[in-house]
Structure 1
Amino acid sequence: MAVTKEQTQQIIKKFQTSDLDTGSAEVQIALLTARINDLTGHFSKHKKDFHGRRGLVTLVNQRRKLLDYLHRKDATSYQAVLKALDIRK
């Protein structure tokens, strides 16, 4: 099941840096992580969905680029996002 509009709004409220912030790196990373987690569950059931897997790889690469950007610009925010989303173990 895809990420719903309500879930998206909750994620944005949790990670936004100001009241009107909907596109900062932190918010984008959190939204991509939600989509990646949703697709990961999909692939446990549909093992032969190779076209969808290509989309998953694209999302992971996009998140990696945003994480690299955030690490360069604001290391403390980078660490906070990693901890909040439990990306690195």
Structure 2
Amino acid sequence: MSHLTTEKKASIFAEFGGKATNTGSIEAQVAMLTERIAHISKHLQANKKDYSTHRGLMQMVGQRKRLLTYMQKNNLQGYRALIEKLGLRK
């Protein structure tokens, strides 16, 4: 019952990771987390009292923040390109 189909995941990994099988790249992981965060945020707007999902959302946001911090320290140009492409940190 996932909103992300295998094809959609593969296209995200191909776009951000270089190829569909490169699931471990930081860019691909951040893009996947961003997609999941957007979906869960929409769910929580309709289901305000779903506290366990809210906790999971906060964990995902924290994970994405840690990955972006790592990327900012180690690959500043890639970090800037990624946040521009994903529309983060306006």
Q: What CA RMSD, in Å, does the superposition of the two structures yield over aligned residues? A: 1.5
Q: What stretches of structure 1 of length at least 5 have no aligned partner?
A: none
Q: Distance between the aligned counterparts of 2:17 and 2:84, measured in 1? A: 16
| Identity over aligned pairs, percent | 36
Q: What stretches of structure 2 of length at least 5 have no aligned partner?
A: none
Q: Distance between the aligned counterparts of 2:70 and 2:31, measured in 1? A: 14
Identify the range of structure 1 (19-28 vs 29-38) with the bigger mean alpha-carbon deviation.
Answer: 19-28
Q: 1:80 to 1:47 in 2, by over 3 A?
A: same
Runs of 4+ in 1 over 3 A off after TM superposition: 17-20
Q: Indicate the residue corresponding to 2:48 in structure 1.
A: 47
Q: Once the 2 structures are TM-superposed, how far is the Cα of residue 18 of structure 1 from its aligned partner?
A: 5.7
Q: Distance between the aligned counterparts of 2:52 and 2:41, measured in 1? A: 13
Aligned residues between the structures: 89
TM-score (normalised: structure 1): 0.92
Identify the range of structure 1 (40-49 vs 10-19) with the bigger mean alpha-carbon deviation.
Answer: 10-19
Q: Indicate the residue corresponding to 1:61 in structure 2.
A: 62
Q: Distance between the aligned counterparts of 1:60 and 1:19, measured in 2? A: 24
Q: Indicate the residue corresponding to 1:87 in structure 2.
A: 88
